Amino acid sequence: MGALATLLQLSAATVPSAYTSIIIQEGNAQGVDPALIAAVIQVESSFRPDAVNPEPTGQPSYGLMQLQLATARDMAGDSSLQSSDLMDPSLNIALGTKYLRYQLDRYGGNEAMAAAAYNAGSARYRAGSSQFVNQTYVDRVLGAVSEFRQAGSSDAVLPSAEVSDTPPIDWSFGDWRLWAGILVGLVVLLALARD
């Protein structure tokens, strides 16, 4: 019932039907909760496959999951990949999900930190500077994840563990990873404020 439950869940949460099966397939292949994939797509492009964001850095991002060409090439292992290739929803979701899995692995399954790194870019987020963390973006992704996970009837909600070994973030005081991340962020902010 896992894939069927996810399909019902995502369909009830207004994911365009053209992308539901791709999101589920890539989520299962990469071990990423389809609700997280759908949330990133919703926040990044509002499910518009032709979305292009002309970054001020000169590195635009493309497609449903708003991938920069260099990142997509790294994830695909293909230096001949072109920006026009990223307008293909299947390829974009596959590469974006692979990048999301990479960020989840880097941050111990912490969805908030993975979302921040996905948005800021690995190099800028790795530098530890909170100036590159868009907290509004992270909040929007996590809010959408919550909505997708709660969509549909209780029978249709797919627990995160059925798709991935990565547990969802527990916003109570019991999730030490969340609080450790917040503490690290505060320490970085204090260090920057002193400089």
What 8-state DSSP symbol labels residue 166? Answer: S
Check if the beta carbon of residue 45 is closer than 8 Å to that of residue 63.
Answer: yes
Question: Residue 90: helix, strand or coil by DSSP?
Answer: helix
30 CB-near residues (< 8 Å, 6+ apart): 97, 98, 100, 101
Please give the backbone phi and psi of residue 52, each rounded to the nearest 5 degrees, phi first. Answer: -130, 130
Q: At what angle do helices 111-120 and 176-194 cross, to 10 degrees?
A: 40
The residues annotated with a catalytic role in the active site are 44
DSSP letter at 171 equals: -
